[in-house]
Amino acid sequence: MPVIRDAEIEQLLRDYAQPILRVAGLAKQNVRVVVLGDRSFNAFVMDGRHIFVNAGTLFDAKTPNEVIGVFAHETGHLAGGHLQRLREQLASAQTASIIALLAGIGAAVAGARSGAAGDIGAAAIMAPQSAIMRSMLSYVRTQEDQADHAGVKFLNATSQSPKGMVDLFKRLSNEVLFNSRFIDPYMQTHPMPADRVAALETLARASPYWDRKDAPELVLRHELMRAKLSGFLERPDTIARRYPASDHSLPARYARAISTYLHSDLRQALAQIDGLIQAQPNNPYFYELKGQALLEGGHASEAVAPLRQAVQLSHNNPLMEILLAQALNAANNPKLAEEAVALLRTAIVREPEAPQAYSQLAVAYGRKGDLANADLASAQAAFARGDLKTARQLATRAKTRLPIGSPGWVQADDIVNVKPNANAKVQ
Ligand SMILES: [Zn+2]
Dist. CA 149 → ligand 1 center (Å): 11
Q: What are phi and psi of 418, to 5 degrees?
A: -65, 135
Dist. CA 192 → ligand 1 center (Å): 9
Residues 6+ apart with CB under 8 A from 84: 44, 45, 46, 47, 77
pLDDT value of position 86 = 62
Which has the closest alpha carbon to 6: 348, 317, 328?
Answer: 317
Dist. CA 45 → ligand 1 center (Å): 9
Alpha-carbon distance of 351 to 330, in angstroms, equals: 21
Pair type for strands 50-54 and 32-36: parallel
Alpha-carbon distance of 91 to 7, in angstroms, equals: 33
Dist. CA 112 → ligand 1 center (Å): 28
pLDDT value of position 180 = 44
Dist. CA 424 → ligand 1 center (Å): 27
Dist. CA 409 → ligand 1 center (Å): 47
Dist. CA 412 → ligand 1 center (Å): 43
The sheet with strand 43-44 has its strands ordered as 3-4, 32-36, 50-54, 43-44
Dist. CA 68 → ligand 1 center (Å): 14
Dist. CA 357 → ligand 1 center (Å): 35
Q: What are phi and psi of 34, to 5 degrees?
A: -115, 125
Dist. CA 314 → ligand 1 center (Å): 33
For 13-82, the DSSP string reads HHHHHHHHHHHTT-GGGT-EEEEE--SS--EE-SSSSEEEEEHHHHHH-SSHHHHHHHHHHHHHHHHHT-
Give pLDDT tens digits for 35-51: 999 888 888 887 788 99
Q: What is the pTM of this model?
A: 0.84
Give pLDDT tens digits for 149-175: 999 999 999 999 999 999 998 887 776
3-state secondary structure of 4: strand
Which has the closest alpha carbon to 209: 154, 142, 131?
Answer: 154
Dist. CA 230 → ligand 1 center (Å): 27
Dist. CA 89 → ligand 1 center (Å): 14
pLDDT by residue for the chain (427 residues), tens digit each?
688 999 999 999 999 999 999 999 998 888 999 999 988 888 888 778 899 999 999 998 999 999 999 999 999 999 988 765 565 555 554 444 444 554 554 444 444 444 444 444 444 444 445 555 666 667 777 888 999 999 999 999 999 999 999 999 888 777 654 444 445 566 666 767 778 889 999 999 999 999 999 999 999 999 999 999 999 999 999 999 999 999 999 999 999 999 999 998 999 999 999 999 999 999 999 999 999 999 999 999 999 999 999 999 999 999 999 999 999 999 988 889 999 999 999 999 999 989 999 999 999 999 999 999 999 999 999 999 999 999 999 999 999 999 999 999 999 999 999 887 644 443 3
Dist. CA 100 → ligand 1 center (Å): 23
Q: 207 with 160: CB under 8 angstroms?
A: no
Dist. CA 99 → ligand 1 center (Å): 22
What 8-state DSSP symbol labels residue 207?
-
Q: What are phi and psi of 370, to 5 degrees?
A: -90, 85
Dist. CA 139 → ligand 1 center (Å): 12
What 8-state DSSP symbol labels residue 209?
T
Exposure string (b/e) for 221-230, b if CB count within 10 Å is 16 or more? bbbbbbbbbb
Alpha-carbon distance of 148 to 394, in angstroms, equals: 50
Q: How crowded is the C-beta side of 5, counted as CA atoms within 13 Å?
A: 12
pLDDT value of position 114 = 43
Dist. CA 21 → ligand 1 center (Å): 16
pLDDT value of position 172 = 79
Which has the closest alpha carbon to 75: 147, 11, 13, 141?
Answer: 147
The separation between CA 239 and the C-alpha centre of its own chain, rounded to angstroms, equals 23
pLDDT value of position 295 = 97
Dist. CA 98 → ligand 1 center (Å): 19
Dist. CA 74 → ligand 1 center (Å): 6
- In order of 245, 282, 378, 415, the CA distances from 279 in angstroms are 17, 9, 41, 48
How would you write 282-322 as a 3-class SS string? CCHHHHHHHHHHHHHCCCHHHHHHHHHHHHHHCCCCHHHHH
pLDDT value of position 258 = 97
Dist. CA 189 → ligand 1 center (Å): 7
Dist. CA 190 → ligand 1 center (Å): 4
3-state secondary structure of 3: strand
Dist. CA 53 → ligand 1 center (Å): 12
pLDDT value of position 143 = 84
